[in-house]
Amino acid sequence: MRAVVFERYGKPAEVREVQHPEPAEHGVVVRVEATGLCRSDWHGWQGHDPDIALPHVPGHELAGVVEAVGARVTHWRPGDRVTVPFICACGTCPSCAAGDHQVCERQTQPGFTHWGSFAEYVALDHADVNLVAVPEELSFGTAASLGCRFATAYRAVVRQGRVAAGEWAAVHGCGGVGLSAVMIAAASGARVVAVDVSDRALDLARTFGAAHCLDAASVADTGAAVRDLTGGGAHLSLDALGSPATCAASVNGLRRRGRHVQVGLLPSPSGTTPVPMARAIALELELLGSHGMAAHSYPPMLELVRSGVLRPDLLVTSTIPLDDAPAALAAMGTAPGAGATVIEPWS
């Protein structure tokens, strides 16, 4: 099969022929019809994830058709239309027993712990725990965007962030995850402040329901600007990009007893990121992490998608063939872009 492969961190990837995967006893092999290009893939290519062994095939945000099933799989058959969270849970550890599959103690992640979906086929573990049926009316491109950025944003806003109608919600970074968060928060009745440095990203955020769009490059203190726009600070703020600057701005833009949710990864040479903890203490802020969403939590989100309340399809702003994926992956470091790019391996 054809796949995108890199052999050294940060060096050009290439499309080449590699061995076709086989399903584990508890797993499946999926023919990839669409896979999203996510900033997490760029982090992996840069060497920011210790689970990646070289050579490597990235890609973790996918939808497709079941091609083959392992001997112990009972719920799925070849031909089923499926997607999957980027975290594949084991289903049996204490965290999974509590329903917290997104922090499974023995999790695997396509594109990180093993070869991923920038390929014609991908192997997925513990299929009965992790696969999600894709409705016929949902395109594969839209379904692929659910597995990481949209589902991640949904849980970050609704479950971890506990957004409520009438609250102010600030979203720092309006790439795929951030725009998803803008759409979800606005659909939940929140008044959203979208923060980015890209005019195109902010235009999309406005389209998806942002009440205010703030160009972070035009202000000296982003946190203070958010506090001014919201009359004292956001109730909920998300760092959807992942940088020391956006993390600090998110925390600094909160009002008393506000909630910060860190969604974007925060790589740094020392492995730590400074956080304004003095403000967190003085204002009794909540600082929360959010790490994907379990397959069993998909139904309420899918129902909102089916009803048209949420429109993840509008987030897909670019569709490219597999041959263009290496260059698009490299470009994310300097021009992350707005919206979501979907790769179609068979086009």
Give the model confidence (pLDDT) of 304-324 as tens digits: 999 999 999 998 889 999 999
Q: What is the pLDDT of residue 168?
A: 98
Cα angle 269, 271, 273 (rounded to 5 degrees) comes to 95
Q: Are strands 62-69 and 2-5 parallel, antiparallel or unpaired?
A: unpaired
The pLDDT of residue 336: 57
Query: Nearest-CA neighbor of 192 among 237, 232, 149?
Result: 237
**Cα Rg of the chain, angstroms:** 19
Question: Which pLDDT value is given to residue 271?
Answer: 64
From 29, 253, 294, 268, select the one nearest 146 (Cα to Cα). Answer: 294
Q: Residue 42 phi/psi, 5° resolution? A: -65, -45
The pLDDT of residue 338: 67
Q: Could you tell me which CATH number the domain at 2-149+293-344 has?
A: 3.90.180.10
Residues of the chain with pLDDT under 50: none
Q: CATH 3.40.50.720: does it fit domain 162-289?
A: yes
User: What's the length of the chain?
Assistant: 347
Each domain of the chain, given as residue ranges in start order, spans 2-149+293-344, 162-289
Looking at the DSSP assignment, which residues form a beta bridge with residue 212?
193
> Cα-Cα-Cα-Cα dihedral of 336, 337, 343, 347, to 10°?
-130
pLDDT of residue 223: 98
Q: Which of 61, 161, 164, 74 is nearest to 111 (CA)?
A: 61
Predicted local confidence at residue 31, as pLDDT: 98
- Give the pLDDT of residue 20: 97
Return phi, psi of residue 103, to 5°. Answer: -125, 35
